[in-house]
Structure 1
Amino acid sequence: MENLTRTPFRLTPPGADIRGDYWASASPTGDAALVVCHGFKGFKDWGFFPWLCEQLAERTGIPVVSFNFDGSGVRDSDFDDLRAFSRNTFSRELWDLEAILDGLAAGRLEDLDVAPVTRFGLLGHSRGGATCILKAGLRSQVRGLVTWASISSVTRYESFAEQWDAGETVIIPNARTKQDMPLERNVLDDMRANRERLDVLASAASLRIPVAVVHGTADESVPFSDAWRIADAVGDLARLVGVEGATHTFQAGHPFQGTTPELEEAIDASVELFTRALG
């Protein structure tokens, strides 16, 4: 697509600071937008995300929004707000995503005027996939959903419950940045208080929209069985795309060194779904 632009924006709903990008042609048409959500220890500029957004916008003709969750830990540079990271929750991510969708529906992302949106497509990677499944079950304007390497349950974080209940802070090492990334017990409290609302598979079962469940068969972080569970919960409207031999990030890294066959297979499946659901 000629004249594709990437315009930064910043949303500051109460208690949050959300940085994002709006990818679109100079004169976008239609009433749809795609929203891309990163996962745990991810952010909008990690690795393949800019390439993914560019490809989605170019190949579907639909504007694309990518953003950092308030609790991503990333503001102006790589993990420069670990306090925000330490206190992130799934409910907080759902609120952040709601702020993005509300802004698009209103045609305004704070200081950035955009084409008003009445139909959404969501794409989430890893933990972001679960957030997108939960949001799709709550908002009828979501008409298409793609998950990449998504977790099928938020309860995986309960493995840290003993440490949190003992009053400890959980430390997650970041092998790439060499940082010790803290996690407070907020995420556990959120899961315990909102089990029904945060039930990923129940939300998946409630969906009546096309869904592509994209997952690498060699995913080292989220088992391929999670993809089976999600697709099975959605039922006949789901297409399970097993990318043979693909890792959790589809053989792509950070900084991005170029695309890979596995990544292109994931993008192709996403373009097909969104074109069919929103075209």
Structure 2
Amino acid sequence: MDDHIEVTNGDSAAETIRLAAHWAHPAGARRVPGVVLSHGFPQPPRGRIASGLTFPGLADRIAKEVGCHVLTFNFRGTGGSDGDFSISGWMADLRAAIDQVAARPDVSEIWLIGAGFGGSISICCAAEDSRVRGVATLAAHSNLNDWLRDPARFLTHARRMGVFRSADAPSDIASWTREIKEFAPLAAASKLGDRPLLILHGSDDTVVAPTDAIELSEAHGSADIRFVFHAGHRLRHDPRAVATLLGWLDRQGGPLLEAAPIEPSELVTEQQTFL
């Protein structure tokens, strides 16, 4: 990631967390939709080091082919970002990213895309933020029951994935675990109302069960749900899933056709379907 955004840590107003980030922009000076692209929870074998590693490339492709401004970033505790993993922390990170996109005068509306746990976080943030026009998820969790089945084991796994920069994190294990218990993507999906929701899931996903996609779709009520036949969890690397995502984005309001010109003074200067 070649840029950064800053987040005020909820635990201390005086502490700012720096998140690695990457911006991608379409050609030309136009007012077009903005997208926030979020990665998922780190996976073996490389853990946090590889989190979001290929997302700048996806952001560049979305910007070029769909015609959107795209911001992708590393959640705290992953990649080149500061901080330690927590549900509230990752929610705060995505809120800060949304604020960054919303602050641009050349952004007409905001969309969220999230993979894995990043998709679940995207649904939850969208439910509480009316600025978000819609959400697309790839292999998102409908719940965190797998994590809650054995919280101590998940904590050990999280440490192995390297998502805690501080040696003593989490400082309050009870509170950290409670946040996982209270995380409710299904309730959030139901609050999206008529805002568009694309749910992509691999039919052979062994990390997040395909039933999670069905549950999210039912909670929303009118989601566009697509199962990618014989695909696993890492849909970001499946050409069929990426093509479906790009096509869906392009159909949401036709940003390429309806892009409004922007004045030079406003410019931001910056150095159940189977596929």
Question: TM range, normalised to the smaller chain?
Answer: 0.7 to 0.9
Give deviations 1:35-78, integer Å, cap 9, x for gaps: 1100111666424x233222211221111111001222x218xx
Q: Which residue of 2 aligns with 1:8?
A: 2
Q: Does 1:61 align with 2:46?
A: no
TM-score, with structure 2 as normaliser: 0.75
Q: State the AA in 2 paired with 1:29.
A: R
TM-aligned CA distance change 1:241 to 1:144, over 3 Å: same
Q: Does 1:266 align with 2:252?
A: no
Contact 1:88/1:187, CA 8 A, preserved across alignment: no
Structure 1 vs Structure 2 CA RMSD: 2.8
C-alpha distance in 2 between matches for 1:29 and 1:44: 31
Q: Does 1:143 align with 2:129?
A: no
SS of the aligned residue for 1:70 comes to coil
Give matches, 1:8-157, under 5 Å: 8-14=2-8, 15-41=16-42, 45-47=52-54, 49-72=55-78, 74-75=79-80, 84=83, 87-107=84-104, 115-157=105-147
Q: Which runs of 5+ in 2 are unaligned?
A: 9-15, 43-47, 256-275
Q: Percent identity?
A: 25
SS of the aligned residue for 1:17 comes to strand
What number of residue pairs does the alignment pair up? 236
Q: Which runs of 5+ in 1 are unaligned?
A: 1-6, 108-114, 253-262
SS of the aligned residue for 2:231 comes to coil
Contact 2:111/2:133, CA 8 A, preserved across alignment: yes
Give deviations 1:159-214, integer Å, cap 9, x for gaps: 333569xxxx624586xxxx776674757624525855x31101101112111100
Give deviations 1:132-159, integer Å, cap 9, x for gaps: 0001101111112110011111343223
TM-score, with structure 1 as normaliser: 0.74
- Report the alpha carbon displacement of residue 269 of structure 1 after superposing the two structures with TM: 1.9
Contact 1:28/1:63, CA 8 A, preserved across alignment: no
Contact 1:89/1:187, CA 8 A, preserved across alignment: no
Q: Which residue of 1 aligns with 2:210?
A: 224
- Report the alpha carbon displacement of residue 103 of structure 1 after superposing the two structures with TM: 1.7
Contact 1:154/1:200, CA 8 A, preserved across alignment: no
Contact 1:216/1:250, CA 8 A, preserved across alignment: yes
Q: State the AA in 1 paired with 2:188.
A: S
SS of the aligned residue for 1:120 comes to strand
C-alpha distance in 2 between matches for 1:100 and 1:251: 20
